């Protein structure tokens, strides 16, 4: 059994163990901790080969054939893109399990609570590491089921059941549209194999899918992946889902699982359907501006911290799309790095928001009052770090990745070229940085600064046990923020390889 198989199946085995009576929290924490170690070992031992058109530069590759016609295999592999998302997933999973309430505090099935987090993690890991198109899709669907259950059973607010049904319908429709696009792509690439490396090789040959066919297949994939990643105007499910979800589920879904949509565009749609990607590029630019500007303004208008964070999460996906549309190595590297940075920072914010809800019973700005920094100074300090990371302060991974996205949008220009639609979209997107600073710093000021609404302390500060998962996320953001080359050295070869595939070799 390869290390990648261990990483994917360990959370599933831990969930089964909990189902059969193993201590829920201890088992989940143990599995998450081991997976973090295994993920770091996989990254540390990765030695990628030279770029190959139509192939991956894999390390720790494993494959278990299941069918011969069409060729189907339970196959996992690691390249620079999946490595970054692997590290994101194992870090956020450990933090999410750690911030979960103790078993005696859970009103309902503790087995369901902890196994859901593990299955979401396993689904995300399987999707990011699969080198078989069928299992890439199937693992993602595995992760959606516990998300619906957790919001409906353990969610917050009177509307949690309606929210659970809404997200079920939205993501169910998105998955069906995505499935239709993947089947069409599979059939137009021969219909003989689900192996991604072979599909890349077929797509890079001189005899390629006709441009008109690429156009409608890419549109199907764009809509399917777009719904899953909350691309404007398919976003309305996300803010309520994150606001009503239990804290660990909000961390895992917004921080990790939502990245599957962008991953699919980078891994599948853009390199295999370059003509389709080019045709719909301007449409994507318009939609991503909706994420950044329209939803950014909607974020400012929110009166609850959890809904503000939900809208903020959707807004920042616009920057990731900008890096993908840019199509340059630096732009796409920035997009993948931003997936990591955003995933860690939004998980951090939801973890701290959960701590506030547990202590003060509400996340409405009016009910929280002001001056809580005097009551819970450690929580206030850590929330300040999270807020600064989210708005892209230098020193955090968010800053490095956003700068690369913007540079990537201007890299295609040559001396004397006039500004194109891509460059104007990047210029307009810069206003999103201002919008982010407005809503996040205003929220921080309203909650933690100013006079105390009540002269008496109303809650205890974070304990060391509560601080450890938060510090883990902050250290990850700052480490990559100061030394982004830690991840970029893996990303560049993988993205250059996909660029060669999309260019037909």
Per-residue pLDDT of the chain (505 residues; tens, 9 = 90+): 788 889 999 999 999 999 898 898 999 999 999 999 999 988 887 766 544 443 455 555 556 666 667 888 888 888 888 899 999 999 999 999 999 888 778 887 888 999 999 999 999 999 999 988 899 999 998 888 888 888 888 888 778 888 888 888 888 899 999 999 999 999 888 878 888 888 887 877 755 788 888 899 999 999 999 999 889 888 888 888 888 889 999 999 899 988 999 999 999 888 888 888 888 999 999 999 999 999 999 999 998 899 999 999 999 999 999 999 988 888 889 999 999 999 999 999 999 999 888 888 888 888 877 778 788 889 889 999 999 999 988 999 999 999 999 888 887 656 656 778 888 888 999 998 999 999 999 999 888 887 776 665 567 778 888 899 999 999 999 999 999 998 888 888 888 777 655 554 3
Identify any residues that bridge with 268 across adjacent strands, giving them in sequence order: none
Find all residues with CB under 8 Å of 244, minimum gap 6, and list them.
151, 155, 156, 157, 159, 160, 163, 164
User: E strands within 372-479?
Assistant: none
In this structure, what are the phi and psi dihedrals at residue 356, rounded to the nearest 5 degrees?
Answer: -65, -45
Q: Report pLDDT digits (tens) over 357-405.
A: 888 888 888 887 777 878 888 988 999 999 999 998 899 999 999 999 9
Residue with tokens 């990591």: 340
Q: Report pLDDT digits (tens) over 270-288.
A: 888 888 888 899 999 999 9
Q: Other C-beta atoms within 10 Å of 8: how many?
A: 27
**Token pair belonging to 37:** 């170690």
Please state, in angstroms and rounded to a whole number, the distance separating the CA atoms of residues 130 and 373: 45
CB of 288 within 8 A of CB of 325? Answer: yes
What pTM value is reported for the model? 0.90
Please state, in angstroms and rounded to a whole number, the distance separating the CA atoms of residues 41 and 43: 5
Please state, in angstroms and rounded to a whole number, the distance separating the CA atoms of residues 377 and 383: 10
Q: What residue segments make up the domains of the chain, in order of their start? A: 3-502
In this structure, what are the phi and psi dihedrals at residue 61, rounded to the nearest 5 degrees?
Answer: -75, 140
Q: State which H helix or E strand residue 59 sits in.
A: strand 59-68
CB of 230 within 8 A of CB of 314? Answer: yes
Please state, in angstroms and rounded to a whole number, the distance separating the CA atoms of residues 345 and 469: 12
**Nearest Cα to Cα of residue 491 among 319, 339, 314:** 339
* Per-residue buried b or exposed e for 220-256, using 16+ beta carbons within 10 Å of the residue's own CB: bbbbbbbbbbbbbebbebbbbbbbbbbbbbbbbbbbb
**Token pair belonging to 65:** 């054939």
Q: Report pLDDT digits (tens) over 186-199.
A: 988 887 888 888 88
């Amino acid at each position: 059994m390869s290390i990648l198989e261990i990483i994917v199946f360990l959370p599933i085995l831990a969930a089964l163990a909990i189902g059969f009576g193993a201590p829920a929290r201890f088992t989940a924490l143990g599995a998450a901790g081991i997976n973090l170690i295994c993920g770091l070992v996989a990254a540390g031992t990765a030695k990628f080969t030279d770029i190959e058109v139509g192939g991956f530069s894999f390390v720790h590759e494993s494959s278990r054939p299941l069918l011969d016609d069409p060729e189907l295999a339970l196959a996992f592999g690691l390249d620079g893109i999946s490595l970054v998302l692997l590290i994101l997933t194992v870090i956020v999973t450990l933090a999410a399990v750690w911030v979960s309430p103790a078993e005696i505090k859970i009103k309902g099935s503790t087995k369901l609570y902890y196994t859901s987090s593990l299955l979401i993690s396993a689904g995300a890991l399987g999707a990011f590491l699969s080198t078989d198109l069928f299992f890439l899709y199937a693992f993602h669907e595995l992760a959606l089921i516990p998300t619906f259950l957790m919001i409906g059973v353990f969610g917050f607010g009177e509307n949690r059941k309606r929210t659970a049904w809404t997200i079920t319908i939205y993501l169910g429709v998105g998955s069906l549209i995505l499935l239709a696009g993947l089947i069409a792509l599979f059939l137009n690439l021969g219909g003989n194999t689900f192996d991604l490396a072979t599909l890349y090789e077929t797509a890079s040959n001189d005899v390629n899918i006709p441009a008109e066919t690429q156009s409608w297949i890419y549109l199907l994939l764009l809509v399917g992946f777009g719904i899953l990643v909350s691309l404007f105007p398919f976003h309305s499910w996300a803010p309520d889902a994150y606001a009503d979800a239990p804290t660990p589920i909000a961390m895992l879904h917004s921080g990790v699982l939502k990245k599957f949509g962008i991953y699919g565009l980078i891994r599948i749609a853009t390199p295999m359907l370059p003509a389709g990607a080019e045709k719909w590029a301007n449409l994507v630019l318009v939609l991503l501006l909706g994420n950044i500007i329209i939803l950014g303004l909607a974020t400012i208008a929110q009166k609850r911290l959890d809904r503000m964070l939900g809208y903020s999460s959707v807004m920042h996906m616009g920057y990731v799309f900008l890096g993908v549309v840019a199509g340059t190595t630096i732009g796409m590297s920035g997009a993948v790095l931003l997936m990591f940075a955003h995933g860690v920072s939004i998980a951090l914010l939801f973890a701290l928001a959960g701590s506030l809800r547990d202590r003060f019973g509400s996340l409405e700005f009016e009910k929280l009052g002001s001056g809580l920094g005097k009551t819970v100074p450690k929580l206030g300090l850590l929330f300040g770090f999270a807020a600064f990371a989210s708005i892209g302060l230098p020193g955090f991974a968010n800053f490095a990745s956003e700068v690369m996205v913007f540079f990537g949008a201007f890299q295609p220009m040559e001396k004397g070229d006039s500004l194109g639609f891509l460059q104007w979209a990047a210029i307009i997107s810069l206003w999103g940085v201002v919008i982010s600073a407005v809503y996040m710093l205003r929220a921080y000021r309203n909650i933690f600064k100013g006079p105390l609404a009540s002269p008496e302390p109303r809650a205890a500060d974070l304990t060391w046990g509560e601080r450890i998962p938060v510090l883990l996320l902050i250290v990850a953001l700052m480490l990559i923020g100061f030394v982004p080359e830690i991840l970029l050295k893996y990303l560049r070869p993988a993205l250059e390889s996909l660029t060669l595939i999309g260019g037909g070799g």
